[in-house]
Amino acid sequence: MVERTLIIIKPDGVQRHIVGEIIGRFEKKGLKLVAAKFVQLSEKQVGQVYAVHREKPFFKPMVKFLSSSPVLLMVWEAEGVINMTRKMMGATFGLYAEPGSIRGDFSCSERYNLIHGSDSPESAQQEIKLFFAPNEIIDYKLTNSPWLYVKSASPKK
């Protein structure tokens, strides 16, 4: 089933000039970009995205950090996109992320982790609604989708 996920390239990704590298990885994987905005988030908006962490000690510093500089908000679409993007991002902190993942290749921090991705279809739906109106998400067909989304490895006879 085709699903959508919200991906946020955080201030450290923007400030380190690796936005294009991150987008390129998702494009090379074959994911479809259906919406994007470059914005400065307010503390209130960050608090809405991370509301489940409100009582944790890292919440206030995280809100301050994520509202300190512009971020790139994106909606990506594909079958299984949430699991794929989470694997591509790697473990939460770069210090522990496997090489080859975004965080494993570009982060060695236990605080700043470059990127956010929705963790479930339900959270993706809620997060996308926070930042994108339905008319801002573009529905289109990728011309190369027959080569990207084949489920069977064996040819039909």
DSSP collapsed to 3 states, the chain: CEEEEEEEECHHHHHCCCHHHHHHHHHHHCCEEEEEEEECCCHHHHHHHCHHHCCCCCHHHHHHHHCCCCEEEEEEEEECHHHHHHHHHCCCCCCCCCECEHHHHHCCCCCCCCEEECCCHHHHHHHHHHHCCHHHCCCCCCCCHHHHCCCCCCCCC
> Rounded to 5 degrees, what are φ and ψ at 154?
-100, 135
Question: Catalytic positions, please?
Answer: 116
Instruction: Write out the two tokens for 8.
Output: 């946020």
Of 36, 67, 33, nearest to 50 by C-alpha is 67
